[in-house]
Amino acid sequence: MKVKIPALLLLMTCMLSAVAQQPPTETIQTPVTAEQQQIINLSKQKWTWMADKNIDSLTVLFHDKSMFVHMGGSWGKTRELSVIKDGTIWYKKAEVYSVIVNNIGNTVILLNEIDLVAVVGGNEVVNPFMVTEVYVKEGNTWKMGSLTFSKLMRPVKLTIPPANNKSN
């Protein structure tokens, strides 16, 4: 009996961990408010700016105290803009599968389930991520306060040519 209880607890813990790793498969929250839709649209625009290396627009969007968390480290606004500008990471394409958005006062937290096609160190890679974006409203302007990439334990959904399908 003593052996069965720890084994059962271990099994339950493993099952809960596996379930916690499963990303949503569709947009969960509907309907969204006009303000939430504004953030969803801003997030989509941000992915385009990142792909296009539009440093001017990103400089305005990123709060001066913003933080960025990647698989290879974390840093602030100045370094993130440098990473994008010099192509250390080129965010070529973010395929967004689901969006969850929640308001907390003048802060909005947005979760995107994505497949990200990026060039890192000269190699094109594709990774599945849950991206957490935090936006803070200052006056009438939304500023990004944080962007965090959490790698998902699911296969890439995006269909791309086999020669380019590498994961990091």
Q: What is the pLDDT along the chain (168 residues), one digit of tens a residue?
A: 555 554 444 444 444 444 444 444 444 466 889 999 999 999 999 999 999 999 999 999 999 999 999 988 899 999 999 999 999 999 999 999 999 999 999 999 999 999 999 999 899 999 999 999 999 999 999 999 999 999 999 999 998 765 555 555
14 lies in a domain?
A: no
Specify if 108 maps to a domain: yes
Q: Kindly state whether residue 129 falls inside one of the protein's structural domains.
A: yes
Nearest to 143 by CA among 133, 152, 132: 133
Residue 69 lies in a domain: yes
What range defines the domain where residue 109 resides?
27-164
Domain assignment present for residue 19? The answer is no
CB 91 within 8 A of CB 43: no
Residue 113 placed within a domain: yes
For 96-106, letters b (16+ CB in 10 Å) and e give bbbbbbeeeee
Number of structural domains the chain divides into: 1
CATH of the domain at 111: 3.10.450.50
Distance (Å, rounded) from C-alpha 113 to C-alpha 44? Answer: 12
Half-sphere exposure of 73 (CA within 13 A, CB side): 7
